[in-house]
Structure 1
């Protein structure tokens, strides 16, 4: 009986040796790839966490400079943020903050530069949308109407009502009454009925000679759907 078991064990061992001789290298490489990928993933996660912590600390510095109303230092801190952590949301937040600080300080070019970067390079579409709307408003103030219209392109649907309102402003300033009314109507129809923005757009339509009564309001809203 013992010899029989010994023979079975020897046969199983021989089979295992044969299997390992045939597939051992392949199994080893698969394990190396799997374990290497796992280690790389953990390393990437650690790197992301480290980047986020460092970016948050630098954003605090940008915020501190902005609160001190020091436009030059705020811009420099933002430039460092772009260079080191340009792919993070913190960089976009810093850009919007730096732009506002520069605008208040009268440095319109620095403000436009920061907004343009957030609008074109930012990873988060929400912050990029805010930057595009602010950029359009700043360009309208500078009478750069073509550039303002260009800035409004490519916005997400959530921002489209505000974009149409800005387009209405551009057309109204240029004396393009028909185009302005069309843009304002589009904005009016997209805004929620309880929105303060809709009431503001209604005032703009009134100024162009369009009285928005209940019937017209319903027609505009239906057309925007």
Structure 2
């Protein structure tokens, strides 16, 4: 009986050796790939967390400079975070903050540069849209109406479209193109929810252009006859 068991064990051992000789290298490489992928993923996550922490410190520096009204410091701190951690949300938010402060302190070119970077390179569509709206405002102040319109017609997310339409209406109105301004204001009015704080402002603009807002309906509904 013992000898019979020894023979069975030897057969199993031989089968195992045969299996390993045939598939051992493949199994080893599969395990290497799996564990390597896990290690790489963990390393990437660690790097991402480290980047975010370091970027947050530099964003705090931008914020402190902004609160203090130190435009030169804001500009330098924004440059630092953009150069070192430009892919992070902190850097893109810093660009919006820097754009506002630099514009308020008379550094229009630097403000436009910061906002243009966010509008072009931000990974978040919402941040891009805010940057485009603010940049369009600065371009309008500089009488660059074509440049402002370009910002407001290129890749604006749907939720920001009413704001973009309102701003386009302002530009056309300034250019004396009243008919186009009306169309844009109507788009804005129809796009804003009924309880939006912006809709009454658009109504004032439409009324000034001779449009009876009582004849308008939100987008998707027929207008009153």
Q: TM-score, normalised by structure 1?
A: 0.96
Gapped regions of structure 2 (runs ≥ 5): none
Map 1:39-188; keep pairs closer than 5 Å: 39-152=39-152, 153-188=154-189
Tell me how far apart the structure 1 counterparts of residues 25 and 14 of structure 2 sit (CA, whole Å). 18
What stretches of structure 1 move > 4 A for 4+ residues in a row? Answer: none
Quote the residue 1:204 is aligned against: 205
**Per-residue CA shift, 1:77-110, capped at 9, x if unaligned?**
1011011110010011100111111111100000
3-state SS, counterpart of residue 192 of structure 1: coil
Gapped regions of structure 1 (runs ≥ 5): none
In the TM superposition, residue 222 of structure 1 has moved relative to its aligned partner by 2.1
Q: TM-score, normalised by structure 2?
A: 0.96
Tell me how far apart the structure 2 counterparts of residues 14 and 140 of structure 1 sit (CA, whole Å). 83
Taking a change above 3 Å as real, the CA distance of residues 14 and 177 of structure 1, as seen in their structure-2 partners, is same
Quote the residue 1:218 is aligned against: 217
Q: Are 2:34 and 1:30 aligned?
A: no
Q: Is the 8 Å Cα contact of residues 185 and 205 (structure 2) preserved in structure 1?
A: yes
Tell me how far apart the structure 2 counterparts of residues 109 and 124 of structure 1 sit (CA, whole Å). 24
